[in-house]
Amino acid sequence: MLSFKIKLALTIAVLALSLPLPAFALQLPVSGNELASMANLSAQAYAVKNIKTGQVLISKNSDMPWPPASLTKLVTALVVLDTKPKLAKTVAITRQDQNLGACGAGGACILAKPGVKFTIDGLFHALLLPSANNAASALARSTGLSAEEFAKRMNEKAASLGATHSHFNEPTGMDPANVTTAGDYVNIIQAAFANNYLRNIAGLQTYYLRSANNWRYSQTIKNTNKLLADADIKVIGAKTGYLDESQYNFASLLRASGQEFAVVVLGEQHLYTAFAETKLLSGLAQEAQALAMLLRQPGMLFGMNPLLTIN
């Protein structure tokens, strides 16, 4: 398979040979954003960050406030981990957890009822794989912090990661008044999956969640991230999110061509579109880097013809 750099070079070469020089100069993309605009993506906002360099290679509406929906849960996970929880500790699901999670009313939840116990480790798996709202509520409550103090810590955590345009009111993501941006969230997902514990959980397609006190509520849970099964791309960790107000959001940490990229797409009409455009953006990010190198060193492509240089 041709590398992105070679394919891009060949594309530019075809343009150069088939077009008059002025037309070629007009049609040549000069940035990752121009490459993405040519792809006509449907996401309302997106951002792609090279983890090693810290450079945002591609973005659209990256500072536009948007409801994160269940992307909120990665901030919840980071705040809970900051309290250094004992993973074997058991926590009983409460009626409040069920109500906050809209369990039985369309909210994503693990099968549970008040009094059913799970370990904190199990709740982390339920938080990240099926995006269970009752698990998020139970984890936040397990810290002993009040709802107000937990939300305060979520906002402090986000700010410490450079997510200065984000604000969270609660841990599940069910509140449409929670706010993030694509530009903020590339920093959040980078921090979340720099944590090996969260990274290992996010890499699972399924998990057998055991109840600590009622075997009837032991269950197999599945990851909502369908890109894990995609042989064309290596997903390190990802999180899906949906509300009517936000449509489909997807944030992922990917490895491609020996590099890691954080890719965030917000406001997709379909989840499959979010997955497809994430893959496309990761490829465009590699093309953008190759393009930048070619533009910095035009002799790599045009050195044999002094008339075809880029100033």
Domain of 287, CATH number, reads 3.40.710.10
- CA geometry: angle at 73 spanning 72 and 74, to 5°? 95
Alpha helical stretches, state H, 161-309: 182-192, 196-202, 271-296, 299-302
**Which among 75, 172, 87 has a CA at the least distance from the CA of 131?**
172
How far apart CA 5 and CA 7 sit, in angstroms, is 6
> Which pair of structure tokens corresponds to residue 276?
């497809």
- Inside any domain, residue 144: yes
Domain extent for 49:
4-302
Confidence of residue 26 (pLDDT cuts 50, 70, 90): very low
Q: What integer pLDDT is reported at residue 30 of this predicted model? A: 60
Question: Residue 243, class by beta-carbon neighbours within 10 Å (0-12 exposed, 13-18 middle, 19+ buried)?
Answer: middle
Q: How far is CA 197 from the centre of its chain?
A: 17
pLDDT tops 60 at residue 7: no
Going by the DSSP 8-state scheme, the letter that residue 180 receives in this structure is B
> Which pair of structure tokens corresponds to residue 216?
């009837």
Cβ(101)–Cβ(113) under 8 Å?
no
DSSP string, 84-126: ---TT-EEE--HHHHHHTTTTTT----S--TT-EEEHHHHHHH
The pLDDT > 70 percentage for the chain reads 85
- Inside any domain, residue 94: yes
- Inside any domain, residue 309: no
Residue with tokens 């810590």: 153
Q: What integer pLDDT is reported at residue 119 of this predicted model? A: 98
What mean pLDDT is predicted for residues 134-160? Answer: 98
How far apart CA 244 and CA 172 sit, in angstroms, is 15
| Total-model pTM | 0.86
Cβ(57)–Cβ(288) under 8 Å?
yes
How far apart CA 91 and CA 304 sit, in angstroms, is 69
Distances (CA, A) of 72 to 39, 67, 178: 29, 9, 8
- Inside any domain, residue 311: no
- Inside any domain, residue 29: yes
Q: What integer pLDDT is reported at residue 295 of this predicted model? A: 66
pLDDT tops 60 at residue 310: no
pLDDT tops 50 at residue 134: yes
- Inside any domain, residue 310: no
How far apart CA 78 and CA 168 sit, in angstroms, is 13
- Inside any domain, residue 250: yes
The pLDDT > 90 percentage for the chain reads 77
Residue with more model confidence, 292 or 166: 166
Confidence of residue 300 (pLDDT cuts 50, 70, 90): very low
Distances (CA, A) of 230 to 81, 225, 234, 276, 277: 30, 10, 8, 11, 14
For residue 221, what is the enclosing H or E element? Answer: strand 219-222
pLDDT tens sequence across 152-197:
999 999 999 999 999 999 999 999 999 999 999 999 999 999 999 9
- Inside any domain, residue 258: yes
Q: How many domains does the chain have?
A: 1
